[in-house]
Structure 1
């Protein structure tokens, strides 16, 4: 699929990236396979060493495609072997550093639902590394500000010319490196990117087992690019990064080796252009059940057992 602003390429990420013009991409947003046996990985499950070697090849191509001052947002989780966790962001940081990238933020993406564990605490977050190729990078804070918690707070009377004036920015505050879209609650003590992951009842759910929400990519696109800039996702899956690019007037390029996912991405982009696609609105607070809802009440069976958890 190719339109004026969006290109979808079917094939191997390394091979397809080698065909693209060098120094032509402003931002890379992607979530590479974690090598944990998902359906799209089962024909090439690798050792951790082989996996990281492959990813180093990918990152080398990414480095060549980025303009000076370009950014990478690399979202990842953990590699698991015999019950032991290996945090992939730690390994990826070393690879990017070898390519002279500079880490600007290590962002936490928190979600409430995921795989439950029996022999360790259930994982409820993943990390997103924001790195830049050089120091002359773009950072547009205003489009991604979150509401002020204390908009009426003022400077103290000993602040000279600012004495008594509002101390915050009227456009909102910086969301920090651990973000919360619902600023009214946890943001005071624990600001996080509290974006629901795409599970069965999420409006964006497709057949992809590790789909991330469009709004996760949107914040990166808005903060790190300008209109008309090119955004690349070498593991585009069902197109969340390209939808974020298309929504905000950026040029998007996506690569995936799975024909099924490319077809879904094409269909989602068509529906977006026709106004049919449903996505979760950027910045919408995470829904919490009301006390009156049955899902928020302790089951009678638990009460009879004397439990309250």
Structure 2
């Protein structure tokens, strides 16, 4: 079933949600028609939408390989594939999924440009190893002649007063930085005041309990993460494809910035929810976390930051 919604138009761009199996429905998308394919596939960790199809690691990779390969075919010659994954854990052993997808995607001729670490404070708890608090976003380009607009994601200079050394000739004593901002590298903090202190982590909260974007989906893509990729890797009017769109975050991120979004998902309830969220955005009712907003830290004296009485050491 294809949900073409004539009313779903933002910035004079029509968006599309497609219900069905990603491998089959990708045939509906023309090859080399998308400037950006960005997605976060199911991690095979037992979430409610995976419980009837839990796979071994080999089965999981075999299932996703043809989908990845077909998704690669949809990318324009100057376009990109962003594949965001976590880890597969079996009997306490961790298998980094980005390792497996690197092999698949580079076989299609794509080149890895950045391995971006998305860090968050709340996530998988563990007792026999350190708790997982990050996921990996692999950014590939299809060719060496790829589209990239750095100015859209520049961040404030950390040392705006830094100047060239006397040995720099005509530049000696002149400001050494770019007045428009600093390249955020592959380690983003999303904090405009603390940004990029040689720190390559994208530090933004995952979509949990009190996050403004939280829905019923247990593993939701934060809009902020997608928007950074949209701004840097595409321009207005481009098409963005997400073959595992879930609740529609990638399509909404495309709509926010004047791109066209196409999303595929096998779950009709999630497709319906994605349609509702897109409609809410177009009507000005959807709340998303502003891009670049500082991650909130508890203040001294707040109840959640106060050591509970139960933790106090027992009197001798």
Could you tell me which runs of 5 or more consecutive residues in structure 1 were left unpaired when the two chains were aligned: none
Aligned pairs for 1:1-16 (under 5 A) are 1-2=3-4, 3=8, 4-16=13-25
Q: Distance in 2 between matches of 1:216 and 1:5?
A: 22
Q: Identify which range, 291-300 or 251-260, moves more after superposition.
A: 291-300
Could you tell me which runs of 5 or more consecutive residues in structure 2 were left unpaired when the two chains were aligned: none
2:177 paired residue number? 168
Instruction: Select the structure that is richer in strand.
Output: 2
Q: Specify the SS of the correspondent of 2:124.
A: coil
1:64 paired residue number? 73
Matched, 1:246 2:252: no
Q: Distance in 2 between matches of 1:86 and 1:183?
A: 34
Q: Distance in 2 between matches of 1:189 and 1:65?
A: 35
Contact 1:146–1:181 at 8 Å: present in 2 too? no
Q: Identify which range, 140-149 or 291-300, moves more after superposition.
A: 291-300
1:205 paired residue number? 214
Q: Distance in 2 between matches of 1:191 and 1:67?
A: 28
Q: Distance in 1 between matches of 2:269 and 2:207?
A: 18
Selected match of 1:85 from 91, 94, 106: 94
1:221 paired residue number? 230
Contact 1:237–1:265 at 8 Å: present in 2 too? yes
Contact 2:123–2:132 at 8 Å: present in 1 too? yes
TM-score, scaled to structure 1: 0.96
Question: Which deviations, in whole Å up to 9, do the C-alpha atoms of 1:64-116 show, x marking residues without a partner?
Answer: 11111210110000111111111000000001111111100000000001121
2:112 paired residue number? 103
Contact 1:69–1:133 at 8 Å: present in 2 too? yes
Q: Distance in 1 between matches of 2:314 and 2:239?
A: 58
Matched, 1:31 2:40: yes
Contact 1:232–1:252 at 8 Å: present in 2 too? yes
Contact 1:149–1:183 at 8 Å: present in 2 too? no
Q: Distance in 1 between matches of 2:309 and 2:198?
A: 34
Selected match of 1:269 from 278, 282, 287: 278
Q: Residue 300 of structure 1: CA displacement?
A: 2.6
2:269 paired residue number? 260
Q: Residue 227 of structure 1: CA displacement?
A: 0.7
Q: Distance in 2 between matches of 1:173 and 1:156?
A: 19
Contact 2:192–2:292 at 8 Å: present in 1 too? no
Contact 2:188–2:195 at 8 Å: present in 1 too? no
Give the aligned CA root-mean-square deviation in angstroms.
1.4
2:129 paired residue number? 120
Q: Residue 186 of structure 1: CA displacement?
A: 6.8
Q: Distance in 2 between matches of 1:302 and 1:187?
A: 36
Q: Specify the SS of the correspondent of 1:227.
A: coil
Matched, 1:188 2:197: yes
TM-score, scaled to structure 2: 0.93
2:165 paired residue number? 156
Question: Which deviations, in whole Å up to 9, do the C-alpha atoms of 1:143-189 show, x marking residues without a partner?
Answer: 11111111122222222222222211122111111211115337324
Q: Identify which range, 264-273 or 185-194, moves more after superposition.
A: 185-194
Q: How many residues align?
A: 306
Q: Residue 305 of structure 1: CA displacement?
A: 4.2
